[in-house]
Structure 1
């Protein structure tokens, strides 16, 4: 049933005019909102209703300050009112009170509401009882809005005001329902030597409120929050365009990085807004093939670049998804893979796993094993690498070893990367196979 509710009285509202917004958005479904409004205040003890707040506000985080006269206003009591008007709540509040019902046949019944379920039962002034089926109702008229119901979430304050006047108040609070994430678009050149690299910001607002002409800041990092809030993800399609000039300025802030949009932006409720984070960068990149049998039986393909000015970038990169494209023989962009990168400071390496190499094959076999008592062993490992490409390739082989180990023999040069990792780098000619054979002695 769809009823149209008519209120016969207006609702008292104060301070409903929207002010100036400053919105700082975090990665983890959290935002700090500051709003400045000019308000006519009377001196002494006064009440004030602050409307147009998000439905997902954390009322315990609210802070109020008088910008015009610092210290002029003190909050004595605060109430967060979120019992919103609905058909069901209006009918519940009017049990035992008089309402008017208009049916689809234009018949009108006025009386005291006795019960509501599938039907509405009224008693008129003469004591007659009327039962009206809900699917036959066109309108329900209520004399006024019951006390305690509000049309939007509101803060109600009891204030102590030192000096009367028109002051600018700043209210700040935390709210859930707003998050942001970075997304990157990379286009590899023909030789896979350079990437055209774009950064985008996606702001997702479903907090229950819009923020017109807001001053927007984004925090990249992981502030500790007592209650975990899962991040929300959205998708962005890629069109082959060039990102605009910088819209954000970046600065180090505490243990995080702060990105400030250089112009106001309207952030509507239930809206996903996308903004260019930085202009297109042309980045020097290296393609790496990796075979790690303990992790995967395939040969992984990764693109690696250094986030430095010398390589063509050199700015802090927020955590986000990287989608990689490449032009085919007809000049059409094709999607070749995606990965996520962590928060990456400047001058650090970025590695993007784009997929597995179709024409490269790795095979690991244990050729021999000897037990050296209860706390030791010796084994011989064979790793075969086959290249079905038309060009020579270099493949990195990573082996995971445990305990106190030592290589006693090897057909190829190797590097001990750390306590548990053995690394080979092998060149394989087109349509050829290369075999690594090594023996390792381990104690534990």
Structure 2
């Protein structure tokens, strides 16, 4: 069966297509008349727009599920932010709808609090249908449009009225009757005269209020929003003596929201805050595209309709990164207590830009005393890989002495006149007084050999030969994965650190040491 053209005028020979188009147009028109027959009270109330934010604060919380060693996933930011802003609005007497334009697209409307109105708020609405090809088409039902058709090398324009929704075919009414506009993006296109006033181009939160008189008020709007994250990033430059290091740390702020928050008082919170819900999957937040179908095709074919693109929100490229500096001095964040959590405040106002990432200095400490050691984990006498660990004490007299938020650590060491990366690890949230341990690389100059010299019905004897190929002595620890009460006759005194049982020893340069212990049955 030959393919018929998508556009057929009323009165042309194809009566089946004419009848189908006419019935579809009538049914769509009737449905819309019913939908708009009873406007709500909110539609009758005058709408007033609040002024731009006069004072803005953004507090970012880390993604609850993300571990310290896991990098921020900029395509799916699962943290959230608390946004607080002050706005001025002029209210008429009686009922009105206040529109807060430019809120975060990931706003949780149920969390929004508006203060500054003694009478309170009657209801809240989130205008989620932002300006897009699909929403512009859907909101233009019954409105005049211009049909542009290419005939040969000529462009012909014809006025019409849109008579269909965004699902199905593009049905318009012209002076000649009802017709289907070519939905293949070929000769025909639709031009819109304007943007419907009900279709915002930025995320908008609306609240309905009652005011006893006309007045100008300053309101405070606070809400939670998904699509943010932060973490600390550390750089440890170990000195040539291996006994000290320079520690530099940055706070990395990331926003996956389409709304920018300029000149904001910015804070980040370390620690885990209990949240019952979780960040939505990015696929669930995608705006549906405009897809139209040709009614006259033997089989319905879906294609993206190439309507003239309306003004849209422009996303800044994700890899963008800013570094905040003041003169030649890094601006370091300031730590404050927030109950059992820790809050870090950026001292200068900064821009939390849309779809962007930036870094602000957290700390810069030189000559921090550290200990480089080698560690292996023993499980039932079996030895795992030998790992290199950098240890420091989080105390003021040891060069630190401040709460350290979790984050990845890059470790560098000198090599001639330059410094080279020797490994990467991570650090968990550390309070003042705790040890900071960074497991950053697998050792190549230190090896171990596990032995099982003896056994008994009540105990098992284990041994570990540690060989050091370095030209200097090293500190070594064997971490035993067992209950302390089951360990007997260790060849060196046991030490307990962070709930782990360890056998520390010094291995001489180009030498070896043998460790022994027994593990008894359940005591």
TM norm structure 2: 0.72
For the residue of structure 1 that corresponds to 2:110, the secondary structure is strand
Q: Secondary structure at the match of 2:513?
A: strand
User: RMSD of the TM alignment (CA)?
Assistant: 3.2
Matched residue, 1:108 = 157
Task: Give per-residue Cα distances to partners, 1:334-384, cap 9 Å, x unaligned.
Answer: 11112121111122110001112211111112122222xxxxx22221211
1:13 deviates by: 6.7
Cα 1:259–1:154 change in 2 (3 A) is same
Q: Which residue of 2 aligns with 1:57?
A: 107
- The whole-number CA distance in structure 2 between the counterparts of 1:420 and 1:338 is 24
What is the Cα deviation at residue 275 of structure 1? 0.7
1:231–1:188 CA distance, 2 compared to 1 (3 A): farther
Q: What SS is found at the alignment partner of 2:411?
A: strand
Note closer, same or farther for the CA distance 1:400–1:153 as it changes in structure 2 (3 Å cut): closer
Residue 353 of structure 1: aligned partner = 439
C-alpha displacement of 1:73: 4.5
Q: 1:314 to 1:163 in 2, by over 3 A?
A: farther
Structure 2 CA distance for partners of 1:418 and 1:440, relative to 1, 3 Å: farther
**Which structure 1 residue ranges, 5 or more long, are not aligned?**
1-11, 372-376
Residue-pair matches, total: 418
Answering whether residue 350 of structure 2 is matched by residue 304 of structure 1, we say no
> Post-superposition shift, 1:37?
1.3
Please give the alpha-carbon distance, in whole angstroms, between the structure 1 residues aligned to 2:485 and 2:493: 17
Match of 1:333, SS?
Answer: strand
TM-score, structure 1 normalization: 0.84
Matched residues in 1 for 2:189 and 2:516: separation? 85
Name the structure 1 match of 2:15.
Answer: none
Match of 1:6 in 2: none
Question: What is the CA–CA distance in structure 1 between the aligned matches of 2:214 and 2:141, rounded to whole Å?
Answer: 42
The 1:23–1:49 alpha-carbon spacing in structure 2 relative to 1, beyond 3 Å, is same
> Which residue, out of 389, 399, 409, partners 2:470?
389
Counterpart in 1 of 2:6? none
Q: Hey, what does 1:267 align to over in structure 2? A: 352
Aligned: 1:415 with 2:415: no
Indicate the residue corresponding to 1:140 in structure 2: 190
Distance 1:128 1:403, change over 3 A: closer
For the 8 Å contact 2:471–2:510, the answer to whether it is kept is yes
Work out which of the residue numbers 302, 320, 338 in structure 1 matches 2:424: 338
Q: 1:332 to 1:73 in 2, by over 3 A?
A: farther
Q: Judging by fraction of residues, say which structure has more strand.
A: 1
Residues 281 and 347 (structure 1 numbering): CA distance in 2 closer, same or farther, change over 3 Å? farther
CA deviation vs aligned residue, 1:123-180 (integer Å, no higher than 9, x gap):
4223274643542357633345447533222122211224532221111111111221
Aligned positions of 1:212-251 closer than 5 A: 212-229=262-279, 244-251=329-336
Query: 173-182 vs 392-401, which deviates more?
Result: 392-401
Q: Residues 171-230 of structure 1, C-alpha deviation per residue, up to 9 Å, x if partnerless?
A: 111111122111111100001111111110111011221011111122112111111349
Q: In the alignment, what sits opposite 2:482? A: 401
Q: Which has the higher helix share?
A: 2
Change beyond 3 A, Cα 1:398–1:72: closer
Given candidates 514, 518, 521, the residue that maps to 1:435 is 514
Matched, 1:323 2:358: no
Find the aligned partners of 1:170 and 1:203 in 2 and give their Cα distance.
Answer: 24
Contact 2:372 2:390 in 1 (8 A): yes
Change (3 A) 1:118 1:383: same
- Per-residue deviation at 1:32? 0.8
Secondary structure, counterpart of 1:293 in structure 2: strand
* 8 Å CA contact retained: 1:118, 1:134: no
Structure 2: tracts of 5 or more residues without a match? 1-46, 64-78, 283-317
1:79–1:155 Cα contact (<8 Å) kept: yes
- Matches of 1:230 and 1:48 in 2, distance apart? 28
